[in-house]
Structure 1
């Protein structure tokens, strides 16, 4: 059996990296900051040595396609996004991208410049390019499933808050984020304070990328591979690769890696409760209306007025806060009391459809979307982002209105 060399961690470089021998092949994993000039320069420097015949990058197919096709946002079918229930995911992705873009603008470098450099240099050097990160949609769904429902709004609020914040980050601070010991300490604290986030966002992806590297080693012709990953994943990947260093045959390595990937690609099973609870609430409300009318027609009508005014007003307020068209605000007021009694369609679907009809985004709005969302006013100026906000805020308003009106109706019945 061939003796595997122990992983070699290189701390003498400007950028943190480690080298690992696996099944007779060499893997160099470089830790980068996604908005760092020196990271991009280091990628170029390493690839220009001619030492590598394969390049692995921390991108999934979706993010890779977005990077090589910057106009992909312009091809987005907004109505389809709302219909498929992907509006919240699009908003979260825009907020993440906006935060990264805002930091990048401060330092005059494009987000993911080191990944772009890796792709461009790999093509120039005729190196094979491998995508090793898990599909972003799968990661977000596993994060969503892992976080208790009462914390989910806090995550969205934190994302949006990071875009609005005027706090500046120095370039020195970004460079210091690549210090290995500091990263270990930071993520150890993160895991302790928010394990439900750390596991799917960091640890699972460490396992996934390590497994993908093992697949490359076991299946590709590449003898020496450079992997470019965010520095926060460096120690985790090193740890998971070290656990499998005794596996020497390509077949065993591939089988083990595939098992890990299949497990981490599995989408969480959808709970029945999110589908059942809305219908239970509707049944209770209808029963409340019926009980009110059984006591007196006047009481029954009063309950309906409470329902319409509270639910409709709060949804309309959400649409107004998003600076929706006046007719969109009126539509929210009319639609919310009705859609709240039909869980198959939400108030946001109706308001977004009205807003799209009245203020149809043009190609320029889609093209400017990523840039506009880097500052708070841009979310309201850009027609695409504003439509997303109309959907989001009117939906939240209707949801709050359902519970507020429900309690008002209950108090009226027992009072």
Structure 2
């Protein structure tokens, strides 16, 4: 069933300033409507477009997890923090929270929920019984590909951009929000860094343009006997030009394109080998110290424990951790080389989550609280994630500090 057209005298005025592209391909007309993800005008444009033209399907720039979050806002409170930490997903969850808080901050200024235009598109289509296509790549995959596409030093720029989006409290004028139609949410959160890094721009924008174009072609071809005649595609306007080009010109097999762009590149091995090499070098120095003088060796071993455990515990302390999570950090960090698996930050964070179990209210207020830097210490979920990162950083600092101190004591 398609959406029935409703005459609207206001249509030309309503959509006059909205970015729209029409692409005809394989018997289907794709009407691409560019939106700002926090904009009343974009919500109105979606409603007007749905009411004016008949569509056989509505595609939205959402992945399954983001769509589920919009359909079931309560789902996040069922998150198992222990599993998030054990499975090494703490970084992705924290990054997603920062991005959603950036968007939430914009929406709070004008009473428009983030992604309201996407929800309006889904609700309008479902109300009329029209198919809804989720065509964006999973946000976790995009963040991983972006992270692994840039060099070691550029990653500090990524972290700095994410941090700046949390700390920046400046109010943004509504006409400036409309200017976000010229960029993507992820690109906006990373600010100028994205435009200056070709690998990052490719991961955040260009790859998703190609992915969404392939997904549209894939969905349209599901029923060759009755392909959809017209499809409304609601995307952030930063994707409009690239998506239209990819949709017109793409000749590769769409399923193969989707599979290739949905894969996660392997981690670079050199950081792991570098860290392992550092630890082995330090323990070689400790062994050498024992050979030279047992008392000197005991001092070197003590310094290893104090530096690694001390800095890890300091990280937990700075995160506002419970005394038990601080103690867990102190104990776990020095024995890291003999305990492969969950890092010291993970052990400390799990101790924090066990002692200070997140309450329902923590999940309910999580996105609002993390939009301000102080909320990361007030919310139990956010504080657990913060504990993980600060303890992990502290452990790394402690290892380098211990190595330097031991080396100086021997030579």
Q: Give the structure-1-normalised TM-score.
A: 0.89
For 1:87 and 1:190, locate their aligned partners in 2 and report how far apart those are by CA, in whole Å.
23
Q: What residue in structure 2 maps to residue 294 of structure 1?
A: 291
For 2:195 and 2:372, locate their aligned partners in 1 and report how far apart those are by CA, in whole Å.
32
Of 315, 319, 330 in structure 2, the residue corresponding to residue 322 of structure 1 is: 319
For 1:176 and 1:360, locate their aligned partners in 2 and report how far apart those are by CA, in whole Å.
42
For 1:56 and 1:148, locate their aligned partners in 2 and report how far apart those are by CA, in whole Å.
34
- Could you give the per-residue CA deviations for residues 72-110 of structure 1, whole angstroms, max 9, x where no partner exists? 111111011111111111110100001110111011100
Q: What residue in structure 2 maps to residue 5 of structure 1?
A: none
Specify every segment of 5 or more residues in structure 2 that has no aligned partner in the other structure, as ranges.
Answer: 1-13
Of 225, 228, 231 in structure 1, the residue corresponding to residue 237 of structure 2 is: 231
Aligned residues: CA RMSD: 2.3
Give the drift of 1:150.
2.3
Query: Which SS does the other structure have where 2:181 is aligned?
Result: coil
Q: What residue in structure 2 maps to residue 75 of structure 1?
A: 78
**Number of paired residues?**
391
Of 139, 160, 166 in structure 2, the residue corresponding to residue 163 of structure 1 is: 166
Give the drift of 1:13.
2.2
- Could you give the per-residue CA deviations for residues 197-231 of structure 1, whole angstroms, max 9, x where no partner exists? 10111000011111112223322542110000001
Give the drift of 1:304.
1.6
Q: What residue in structure 2 maps to residue 400 of structure 1?
A: 397
Do 1:95 and 1:159's aligned partners in 2 also have CA atoms closer than 8 Å? Answer: yes
Please show how residues 343-362 of structure 1 align to structure 2 within 5 Å.
Answer: 343-362=340-359
Give the drift of 1:340.
5.0
Specify every segment of 5 or more residues in structure 1 that has no aligned partner in the other structure, as ranges.
Answer: 1-10, 245-252
For 2:272 and 2:79, locate their aligned partners in 1 and report how far apart those are by CA, in whole Å.
28
Please show how residues 97-246 of structure 1 align to structure 2 within 5 Å.
Answer: 97-178=100-181, 193-220=196-223, 221-244=227-250
- Could you give the per-residue CA deviations for residues 136-181 of structure 1, whole angstroms, max 9, x where no partner exists? 222122112101122223312321221121122111011133359x
Q: What residue in structure 2 maps to residue 23 of structure 1?
A: 26
For 2:61 and 2:132, locate their aligned partners in 1 and report how far apart those are by CA, in whole Å.
11
CA distance 1:192–1:73, shift in 2 (3 Å): closer
- Could you give the per-residue CA deviations for residues 33-86 of structure 1, whole angstroms, max 9, x where no partner exists? 000111011001100124212100001111111111111111111011111111
Please show how residues 30-49 of structure 1 align to structure 2 within 5 Å.
Answer: 30-49=33-52
Of 289, 301, 306 in structure 1, the residue corresponding to residue 303 of structure 2 is: 306
Do 1:278 and 1:343's aligned partners in 2 also have CA atoms closer than 8 Å? Answer: no
Give the drift of 1:298.
1.7
Do 2:161 and 2:193's aligned partners in 1 also have CA atoms closer than 8 Å? Answer: no
Do 2:21 and 2:244's aligned partners in 1 also have CA atoms closer than 8 Å? Answer: yes
CA distance 1:269–1:350, shift in 2 (3 Å): closer
For 2:342 and 2:56, locate their aligned partners in 1 and report how far apart those are by CA, in whole Å.
52
For 1:266 and 1:85, locate their aligned partners in 2 and report how far apart those are by CA, in whole Å.
17
Do 2:279 and 2:399's aligned partners in 1 also have CA atoms closer than 8 Å? Answer: no
Do 2:86 and 2:342's aligned partners in 1 also have CA atoms closer than 8 Å? Answer: no
Query: Which SS does the other structure have where 1:178 is aligned?
Result: helix
CA distance 1:353–1:176, shift in 2 (3 Å): closer
For 2:131 and 2:397, locate their aligned partners in 1 and report how far apart those are by CA, in whole Å.
52
Give the drift of 1:275.
4.1
CA distance 1:368–1:359, shift in 2 (3 Å): same
Answering whether residue 408 of structure 2 is matched by residue 411 of structure 1, we say yes
Of 43, 55, 58 in structure 2, the residue corresponding to residue 55 of structure 1 is: 58
Give the drift of 1:131.
0.7
Do 1:348 and 1:392's aligned partners in 2 also have CA atoms closer than 8 Å? Answer: yes
For 1:395 and 1:159, locate their aligned partners in 2 and report how far apart those are by CA, in whole Å.
18
CA distance 1:192–1:116, shift in 2 (3 Å): closer
